Amino acid sequence: MVVPSPNPAIRSRKTQAVGIPSVDLSFVGPGLAEQLARACEDYGFFKVTNHGVPREVVSRVEGEMKAFFSRPAFEKQRVGLAFPFGYGCKNIGPNGDTGELEYLLLRADPSSVSDVSRTVSDDPDGFSSAVNNYIDEVRELVCEILDLLGEGLRLLDESVFSRLISDVQNDSLLRINHYPFAPKPSSHRPDHGRTRGEGRVGFGEHSDPQILTVLRSNDVEGLQVCLRDGLWVAVPPDPNSFYVLVGDALQAMTNGRLRSVRHRAMANSHKPRMSMVYFGAPPLNSSISPLPEMVSPQNPPIYRPFTWGDFKKALYSLRLGDCRLDLFKIL
């Protein structure tokens, strides 16, 4: 299904049914790496099936998070308010962005998970092991995808992306978003926080700053992605699969050959939605610059080199929907 964009210029375009690419990781044979690289280039977004992450690992962490979000507000707030890590309700980031959601945002490392578990759960060891197992599995999945991408892009060093995520100092994050069901407002009320009568925005339009994002949601719709031609597409939920999104850092490293995908989440009016999002990020001191294979006299570097730490500083000074890579463009 294609959803009209809130941007009138885009809205007026003819919409058409668009399929979202799907990559079966159990496929053994030639062409898998190329198929995956093409999905990243053409869509910046794809679905992964037969990903190898055990169902029990997913359902355990999902159970822990359901229990967490069903606690009274004062108990959830014991984690500490998200500045940027901790429990957040409606406020996103430090610069005034808001959405119809509550969330838990954690560093994806065992010591941060264990700190949080002590305040959120009656069984901290159970909580920690559920979250850490999930993080280990999705990190492995991200590295497998990035190695295939390196192969599909025919890089000299195929592991150049995955090494950044498997580095012990990686700055990856885990975000669990809970979108409580938001009843449709009656038609005579003003259209606050909505995209022209299309429902309320759960999490506004943005791209992810990191290298690669892996997202899993329950069976409730809400995620929408913006394709290269400006069409917004509703992504059908599939709790048995993961969705993969290209981030800004990967766009910079591929000198714009891959582009980070803009996406948003709408609040569902019938059922609560929960998504678990792993953001694969490099260590803070890693240099992010266009790879030599992506640069030629015809394709001069678009971005000046920066460290992941520099980029983080920039993104926390901007709004959610801003195109932060523009700050690093060579003019």
Q: Name the site residues for ligand GA4 (rule: CB under 6 A).
A: 84, 92-93, 95, 97, 105, 173, 175, 206, 208-209, 279, 315-316, 318-320
Which residue, 152 or 280, is less far from ligand GA4 as judged by CB? Answer: 280
Report the nearest approach of ligand GA4 to the CB of residue 284 (Å): 13
Instruction: State the Cα–Cα distance between residues 199 and 184, nearest whole angstrom.
Output: 7
Instruction: State the Cα–Cα distance between residues 290 and 292, nearest whole angstrom.
Output: 6
Which residue, 34 or 97, is less far from ligand GA4 as judged by CB? Answer: 97
Which residue, 173 or 244, is less far from ligand GA4 as judged by CB? Answer: 173
Closest CA to 225 of 205, 248, 200, 198: 205
Report the nearest approach of ligand GA4 to the CB of residue 95 (Å): 5
Report the nearest approach of ligand GA4 to the CB of residue 310 (Å): 14
168's CB contacts (< 8 A; 6+ apart) are none
200 DSSP 8-state letter: B
Report the nearest approach of ligand GA4 to the CB of residue 196 (Å): 23
Residue 125 neighbours by CB distance under 10 Å: 11
**238 in helix, strand or coil?**
coil
Which residue, 3 or 318, is less far from ligand GA4 as judged by CB? Answer: 318
Report the nearest approach of ligand GA4 to the CB of residue 324 (Å): 7
Which residue, 1 or 323, is less far from ligand GA4 as judged by CB? Answer: 323
Is 273 considered catalytic here? yes
HSE-CB of 24 using CA atoms within 13 angstroms:
6
Q: Which of 175, 194, 273, 324 is catalytic?
A: 273
Which residue, 95 or 285, is less far from ligand GA4 as judged by CB? Answer: 95
Dihedral angle, C-alpha 69, 75, 77, 78, nearest 10 °: -130
Which residue, 148 or 174, is less far from ligand GA4 as judged by CB? Answer: 174
Report the nearest approach of ligand GA4 to the CB of residue 307 (Å): 15
Residue 216 neighbours by CB distance under 10 Å: 24
- DSSP strand pairing (45-49 vs 22-24): parallel
Report the nearest approach of ligand GA4 to the CB of residue 319 (Å): 6
Instruction: State the Cα–Cα distance between residues 139 and 201, nearest whole angstrom.
Output: 29
Strand order in the sheet with 273-280: 22-24, 45-49, 242-246, 212-217, 273-280, 173-179, 97-107, 86-92
Report the chain's terminal Cα–Cα distance, integer Å: 38
Closest CA to 34 of 151, 169, 140: 151
The answer to whether 277 touches 175, Cβ cutoff 8 Å, is yes
As annotated, the active-site residues are: 273
